[in-house]
Structure 1
Amino acid sequence: MAETQFKAGCRGNKWVPIGTHRIRDGYLQRKVSDLPKASPSVNWRCVHELVWIEAHGPVPAGHVVVFRPGCRTTHLARITLDTVELVSRSELMARNTIQNLPAPIKAVTRLRAALTRQINKRARTEEGSA
């Protein structure tokens, strides 16, 4: 074993105990398990989802727990049952679709997507020729 590798039973300096909170992608998450080889989605859960589960039980298949419109926060005390709701994935898609945006913003969004595709296409072409 190399000198710089951790010995068996040692934890890295980024380890935190169960119950620790962090903010990822604008959502407050809580560490709920300490499985060493598990993905982060197993060890960390969003607090708003945990609030719903505590009150109503597991989230049904095909549904997600989201903040009510205008209630998204990363402050633990403000994440209550009144600020979250259970929606189906199809309803979530309808909420987040481009069709809900005003026409000028739709056009800009489509242009931005086209520009991103062209940039990625050129980047792949340059990687292939290098």
Structure 2
Amino acid sequence: MQQNKRRHSEKKLSSSREEYLKAIYKLSKRTQSVRSIDIALYLGVSKPSVHNAVTTLQEEGLVIKPFGGEIQLTEEGRKQGEAITTKFQIIRQFLITCCNVDELTANADACKMEHIISDETVFALKNILVKGEVLYE
């Protein structure tokens, strides 16, 4: 890896960049080619915003975008996109199942929480969901 490219593990992406990575991951699961316009429509942002985010993700080694070409996840980008998506799904399901939060609110809250919650806490939430054990004091 080139020295000017930082690894995600060395520097955490901003929540905004994580949202872009998650969007690219989700879109790439639906279709073979992901274009800037697809991301812009999916996230409700401008194409220049997408360009800036994709440039940053490319510098981080998470996506590849040949000039004028489709956006592709690197192996590391795919892993991180999947991890962010899984984290969102666990938090969302926990809020719905264990906290009786409605789906719309759970989606919005999980989207915010996924960027700040630790992997350890997500693991604990997942265990509660899997085991069905909710402990109250």
- TM-score (structure 2 length as normaliser): 0.26
Larger relative CO (CA 8 A, sep 6+): 1 or 2? 2
- Under a length normalisation based on structure 1, what TM-score does the superposition of the two structures give? 0.27
Q: Which has the higher strand share?
A: 1
